[in-house]
Amino acid sequence: MPVPSPEVLAALRATPPFDQLADAEVAALASAAKVEEHADQEVLLDAFTATPRHVFVVVAGEVALWVDPEGEPDQPDFVLGRHDVFGLDATLTGRAIGPLAVAAGPVTVIRLPAARVSELLAGDRPVVVPDRLAGPPAADSPAYVVVDELVVSEPVVVDPADRVVDVARAMTAARHGYAAVRLPAGWGMVTDRVLRERVLAGDVTAETAVGELVAGETPHQVVSGSSAAEALILLLDRKADYVLVVDRDGTLRGSVEPRDFVVSSTTAGVSLHEQLRRAASVEELQQRARGIPGVLATLLDGGLASGKVIRVHTAMLDTTVRRMIELAFARHPALDPDAFTWLSLGSNGRGEAVPSSDIDSAAAFDDAVTADDIVRYRHVFAEIADALAAAGLTGDQHGATAARDAFSRTNAAWRAAGEQWLAAPDRNNGAMMTSLLVDGRPIYGDPGLPAVAQVVAGMRGHPGTMRLLLQESLSRRARMRSLRELVSGRRRDRFDLKSHALLPIVNLARWAALSVGSPALPTTERLRAASGTTALPAPQALALVEVFEALQRVRLRHQLRQLEQGLAPSDLVDLHAVSAIDRSIITRAVREIAAAQRRMDNIALYDDPERWGR
């Protein structure tokens, strides 16, 4: 074995995750390493086109990194410096999932063999990078990962002045279910479904100009070159019939619809989503919903980023809950299903649910609904919760559920409660209820803002409440082990991803978003909204975004692996069983979160609340 360079040995021992390897393993890795120098703008790694043969450690200089293949060319997602590593994710997954790394000035790196790194770091999931994956990808047939590959026909384009009857004939002749309407400021779209509904309702006649049907409405669209997954997520999130595909200059390329995705390896969830939406009975819906985790695993194995897999998961959960509500109220025709708004709370409300997440909910009734009827509605809500639980979508029956009195009220009652919570958050669980409702997202009924959300939106005007909420947000600390566990030796190898890492970020981000008046729901969007303020400096916000996304990735893979083994998904991980890279991610995450919490401690004690959102 070649004698390793002392400089390379020292660099690897100081670089996570290699710092967690045994001395003999580091020495073996260093023996296979090569030190390279690269000029400014030289491409060091393009792991979007092929799985890398090497992993790199920055020794000197800086490297610009793009983790999104559709990112701006002049705006890297990250800039790496000394002791940073790139190429690990693609190596450990064995897939071409990025990143693109380019020298940002002269740079020196250590190049490590990917196969050797994979062997040492993959733990109980060894990954071998096949030679056939290390070269250029096969291009003799479409991969259907870019939305353009799914556009199969020329669009029907009409003018605003064209009559409805003529537009319908053009759509029929082309066998299209939609027509794009050429407008001065872009595109409108009319679908076969819209035509039928409007004509039957008597809103329009055959002689009506089609421009009247699309006035003030902007169709959903993606830019040519976008991933098929982006288009799928848009279809699922917005319940759209079609998504237009346009060039950056606005030129229409065509459209995609749900059935176009059956050939795309990155969008395996579309057929199940349609089955959920059209389930004819509670039993059929439950059967379909049990297949959701398998689709998540397929999407992740297909190379779709974990964040996007979680967004697809959220869309499927929303569809399942909506359809269960419809089916349940079909059995109770005396109750009006349009008399309430259903809100998803917690991780579902934020769009961050994983297989272990509870289905938390609340309901806001029209003020005309009587107290006796609300009791009847709650019984149906309990039926819905039970039916979802039988499908594997469980909730805490003693927690946040619309079946409980505290979580189902009229809008007037919610408004009054919200005002009480703001005035005295230390009473009647005010702080806890406020935090829950801030994460609320309407998924059924009137999509308008429920009354309680309107009240909570004005929280910045109550500095005492904001200070108490900050203290509540900091009550759950990021930590690897408690002092009691350290002394007693209990649970020394177990780590709770949710309690000890993710929830501290979620709580901090929620408070930070409130301090700047941001309505954002996802944790990363909240962190970005508050970035650069007194409470959350930009570097710290960016670090928290990174660790949250990394922890969610670890969490999703861990739970899907548990399900494959026939185990119930949980947030407890065995630190000795996970890979070295995952241990490194968890350790770094706890450090970053704890640092942010210490800063927030000082702000809560000494800073003027008027400055928090500035």
CA atoms of 404 and 415, how far apart (whole Å) = 18
pLDDT at 294 over 60: yes
Task: Specify the pairing of strand 494-496 against strand 100-103.
Answer: unpaired
pLDDT at 488: 46
- Mind listing the pLDDT tens digit for each residue in 327-343? 999 999 999 999 999 99
Contact 164, 185 (CB under 8 A): no
The model's pLDDT over 135-158, given as tens digits with 9 standing for 90+, comes to: 333 333 344 457 887 887 889 999
pLDDT digits (tens, 9 = 90+) for 19-33: 878 888 899 899 989
Please state, in angstroms and as integers, the Cα–Cα distance from residue 568 to each residue in 400, 402, 554, 561, following that order. Answer: 21, 25, 16, 10
Q: Three-class SS of residue 179? A: strand
- Specify the higher pLDDT residue, 198 or 379: 379
What would the two tokens of residue 118 be?
């994979």
Q: What is the DSSP-derived secondary structure letter of residue 360?
A: -
**H or E stretch at 89:** helix 88-93
Q: What is the mean pLDDT of residues 34-62?
A: 88
The per-residue pLDDT for range 402-459, each reduced to its tens digit, is: 999 999 999 989 988 888 877 777 776 777 788 888 898 999 987 655 565 666 666 6
* Separation CA 25–CA 37 (nearest Å): 25
Q: What is the pLDDT of residue 276?
A: 87
Query: Which range among 119-123, 239-243, 552-556 has the greatest average pLDDT?
Result: 552-556
pLDDT band at 364 (very low <50, low <70, confident <90, very high): very high
* Class of residue 267 by CB neighbours under 10 A (exposed 0-12, middle 13-18, buried 19+): buried
In whole angstroms, give the CA distance from residue 403 to residue 377.
8
Task: Kindly tell me if the per-residue pLDDT of 492 is higher than 60.
Answer: no
What is the identity of the amino acid at 62? Answer: E
pLDDT at 123: 46
> CA 126 to CA 130: how far, in whole Å?
13
Q: Judging by DSSP bridges, how do beta strands 100-103 and 63-66 pair with one another?
A: antiparallel
Percent of the chain with pLDDT over 90: 37
Question: What's the pTM value of the predicted model, to 2 decimals?
Answer: 0.66
Lowest mean pLDDT among 40-44, 312-316, 485-489: 485-489
Task: Give per-residue pLDDT as tens, 553-585.
Answer: 999 999 999 998 999 999 999 888 877 778 878
In which element (H, E) is residue 221 found? strand 221-223
Give the amino acid at 531.
Answer: S
Ordered by where they begin, the domains of the chain are 6-134 (2.60.120.10), 147-261 (3.10.580.10), 269-457 (3.30.460.10), 469-611 (1.20.120)
| pLDDT-based confidence at residue 264 (cuts at 50, 70, 90) | low
pLDDT class of 371 with cuts at 50, 70, 90: very high
- Which 3 state secondary structure label does DSSP give 543? helix
Mean pLDDT of 267-281: 76
- Compute the average pLDDT of residues 161-177: 91
Write down the pLDDT at residue 269.
62
Residue-wise pLDDT tens digits, 79-95: 899 988 988 876 665 56
Residue 108's beta-bridge partner residues? 37, 60
String of DSSP letters for 339-352: SEEEEE-HHHHHT-
Residue whose structure tokens are 């009652």: 413
From CA 540, how far away is CA 596, in angstroms rounded? 7
Alpha carbon separation from 512 to 441, 452, 470, 543, 591 (Å, rounded): 19, 19, 9, 15, 19
Tokens describing residue 543: 């670090």
Higher local confidence (pLDDT), 606 or 515? 515
State the Cα–Cα distance between residues 44 and 57, nearest whole angstrom: 11
pLDDT above 60: residue 493: yes
Would you place residue 595 in the very low, low, confident or very high pLDDT band (cuts 50, 70, 90)?
Answer: confident
pLDDT band at 129 (very low <50, low <70, confident <90, very high): very low
Closest CA to 56 of 43, 67, 44: 44
Residue 585, amino acid: I
**Percent of the residues in the chain that have a pLDDT greater than 70, as a whole number:** 83
The 10 Å Cβ neighbour count of residue 114 is 24
Q: Output the pLDDT for position 20.
A: 77
Measured between alpha carbons, how far is 166 from 38 in angstroms, rounded to an integer? 62
Higher local confidence (pLDDT), 344 or 72: 344
Q: At what angle do helices 503-515 and 463-473 cross, to 10 degrees?
A: 170
pLDDT of residue 459: 64
Give the DSSP per-residue string, 505-523. Answer: HHHHHHHHHHHTT----SH
Query: 3-state class of 407 per DSSP?
Result: helix
Average pLDDT, rounded, for the chain: 82
Least confident of 214-218, 539-543, 566-570: 214-218
CA–CA gap between residue 589 and residue 505 (Å, rounded): 10
